[in-house]
Amino acid sequence: MPDQPARPDTLLLRAAGAAVLLDTSGPGLPSVLHWGADPGDLDADARARLVAALAPAVPHSALDTPWPLTLLPGEPDGWSGRPGLAGHRDGADLFPRLVADSAPTVTTTDDGAQELVAAAADAAAGVATRSVLRLEADGLLRVRHTVTNTGAGTYVLAGLTAVLPVPARAGELFDLTGRWCRERSPQRKPFDHGTHARESRRGRTGHDATLLLVAGTAGFGFRHGEVWGVHVAWSGNHAHLAERLAEGAGAGGAGVLGGGELLLPGEVRLAAGESYTSPWVCFSWSGEGLDGLTARVHRWVRARPQHPRRPRPLTLNSWEAVYFDHRLDRLTELAERAAEIGAERFVLDDGWFGSRRNDHSGLGDWTVSDAVWPQGLRPLADRVRGLGMEFGLWFEPEMVNPDSDLVRAHPDWVLGPAPGADEPAVTSGPVDGARLPRPWRRQMVLDLARPEVFDHLLGRISALVDEIGIAYIKWDHNRDLHESLTPGPDGVRRGGVHLQTLAIYRLLDALRERHPGLEIESCSSGGARVDLGILDRTDRVWASDTNDALERQSIQRWTGLLVPPELVGSHVGPPVAHTTGRQAHLSFRCVTALFGHAGMEWDVTTCSPEEVAQLKGWAGLYKELRGLLHSGDVVRADLPEGGPAAGAWLHGVVAPDRREAVYSFVRLTTSADLQPPRLLLPGLDDALEYEVVRRDEAGAPWAVETVPVPWFAAGRTVASGAVLRTVGLAAPLLNPEQAAVLHVRAR
């Protein structure tokens, strides 16, 4: 798309069926009239006519003229909802009247994005803004804003929020909630008048975070309906909001979706000339349900230059195999069995350092324990590499046990309120009234905004990477940040989550710069730090601390709304799940783990020969299919929640050229109906003929039929994409916690 001329009255950005229409005729920032379906290639006259046709009526008891929903709406624009820019200068300059100081520009970047830049200022209020709106080549829309203090004195920023309009037909809201070991639980509600705000004050993304807040047409599903979604790419405090006022959202729509960083009071104080830039806020639209919305996000994530390119290694993590019981002979035997099965990466989890024999002490003392590892970790790491695997190691750098050498030496490094004159700085047990955050899992948070803390962590971790030859770090983060106060230049302790988040980003960036090729996993007591901000600097996320395959089916399903499968760690756990006590058949555990970045978290030295053989078959299937699983479009069939489909899911991945796909039909619970619904395979090309092959390498579902489904018993059939999509195939009768894998290839 050629660069557009300076200062037209309208701008239309278009990409991959999505579009944004902006009116630039006003004196301030551009106003958004439409975000969603592409209306086509409109010339300047057609755009002008469309703008005129969208002008709303002016009712009694309202503003005398139609008001614009600008990129940073506020009361001077006539917007009575949450302001795009909120702040003050000692209680003054609350409502800046932003006037464009130059024409907005639209350029096409080298990666095919169309980028709009609009600057505005209020000289009297001493505030200037710069707004960037990028429509990526795959139709994902990203927005961020910068505010600069151009006046005298300190400007205290209260919030900088990106909002875009959605139309009245978006009558339902969908988001996610959850808890530890039950992340990503979906919920729906009407998009009524008022503000639906999902705010995280946890200092991290949170187990209950909504990865995408979605507004859509009534009854939208995975494969149908029109949907608009928003995601804040930030790993600290943040807010997502859906807001609908009686007067609507200007000419742009009936309501808005938006989000941004959630700032603590006084957390960002801008001296004269200083600036703050918001996180990127990602907006995704689809006219084909949630799968279309997901596809835009996944395609953009995969197009990033830092996205992992090589095949995702099959991993064994030691946690549920040995916990804190670290012995060289036992772990060597575990590594040898893992390599025999087909593992390509071996990760040693918690318990290798300091006094860390349980989770009560030693956290923060990043020195290999002489008591447990008298020869250091190099003998194990060398054996792992000799077996053809990479060696990985667990860290939790941002956290510290009060009972640790680090805290005893540097009690002031703990993030939180300063203790009073007669109060202890830290204690090894309960805080007992000291002005410190309440312990969580017997640990506190280190203040990474302090240069000495940052330098200490960078130095210790970097030295261990070099000494041991670490190729992979499992980076954990096991508590929320409470009372997160850090001293400023004036000695006053103010909110520190913003600085803490920027510091962890810098630390990850510095490690990767020092150690090219080092891969890092974001684990946060499972899935409490899953967002596109942390994924700018890491290579996968740990979706949940539960390896219970039944729980994982749901957790992975909804984590995939934002994150593509190759970035979601998914492991085969023991027969009895550590977190729930549920027992599951090996085939169900294997199939569940297949649809992600697969691995094992189980003492596989205890496996029977039959289990080892099955794991080898599953490992081979993963290696055969991961090129497809980690590059194709995620698809999820819309099976009704009631009737024959109750308790059943059908999901898969379809290659970009639609010549190959892999699906899983999953039975979660029983149904009142004897016969399951036909399998309608989504995402295929109607015009192609496909062979559908049953793949049992991960374990065959055991038969429950007196007379089995003929094609399924035969193991294959042939049909056109149109037949598979519209007529379907008879489904096998599966018991709860059984799953079948179907491999589909064009003939």
Catalytic residue set: 476, 545
Q: Quick check: helix, strand or coil at residue 188?
A: strand
**Angle, helix 328-341 to helix 378-386, in steps of 10 degrees:** 20
The helix (H) or strand (E) run that includes residue 742 is: strand 738-746
Per-residue buried b or exposed e for 74-105, using 16+ beta carbons within 10 Å of the residue's own CB: beebbbebbbbbbbebeeebeebbbebeeebb
For tokens 């009704």, name the residue: 640
Instruction: List all residues 6 or more positions away from 306 whose beta carbon is below 8 Å from its beta carbon.
Output: 536
DSSP H or E stretch at residue 592: helix 586-594
CA atoms within 13 A on the CB side of 271: 3
Cβ proximity of 162 and 168 under 8 Å: no
Instruction: Report the distance separating Cα 204 and Cα 241, nearest Å.
Output: 18
DSSP label at residue 467: I
Classify residue 254 by its DSSP letter.
Answer: S
Can you say how many angstroms the Cα of residue 301 is from the centroid of all Cα atoms in its chain? Answer: 11
* φ/ψ bin of 623: left (φ > 0), alpha (ψ from -120 to 50), beta (otherwise): alpha
Q: In angstroms, rounded to a whole number, what is the distance separating the alpha carbons of residues 95 and 83?
A: 9
Q: Which two tokens stand for residue 230?
A: 């928003």
Please answer whether residues 11 and 30 qualify as being in contact, where contact means their C-beta atoms are separated by less than 8 angstroms: yes
For 370-396, b/e burial (b = at least 16 CB within 10 A) is eebbeeebeebbebbeebebbbbbbbb
Do the beta carbons of residue 272 and residue 153 sit within 8 Å?
yes
- Cβ neighbours for 581, distance < 8 A, ≥ 6 positions apart: none
* Cα–Cα distance, 412 to 282 (Å, whole number): 38
Residue 338 C-beta-side C-alpha neighbours within 13 Å: 35
Q: Is 568 helix (H, G, I), strand (E, B) or coil?
A: strand
Distance CA 109, CA 137 (A): 10
* Secondary structure element (H or E) that encloses residue 457, with its range: helix 451-464
Degrees, nearest 5: CA angle 631-633-634? 110
Are residues 444 and 472 in contact, defined by beta-carbon separation less than 8 angstroms?
Answer: no
Degrees, nearest 5: CA angle 264-265-271: 105
What is the helix (H) or strand (E) element at residue 629, kind and residue range? helix 609-629
Place of tokens 């006037």: 99
Q: What share of the chain is helix, strand, coil (3-state, %, to 5)?
A: 20, 30, 50
**CB neighbour list of residue 396: distance below 8 Å, 6 or more residues apart:** 350, 363, 475, 476, 477, 478
Q: Residue 11, Cα to own-chain centre: how many angstroms?
A: 31
Between CA 476 and CA 400 the distance in angstroms is: 12
- Closest of 519, 586, 526 to residue 556, by C-alpha: 526
* Token pair of 629 as six digits: 């699983």
**What pairing do the DSSP bridges indicate for beta strands 568-572 and 597-600?**
parallel
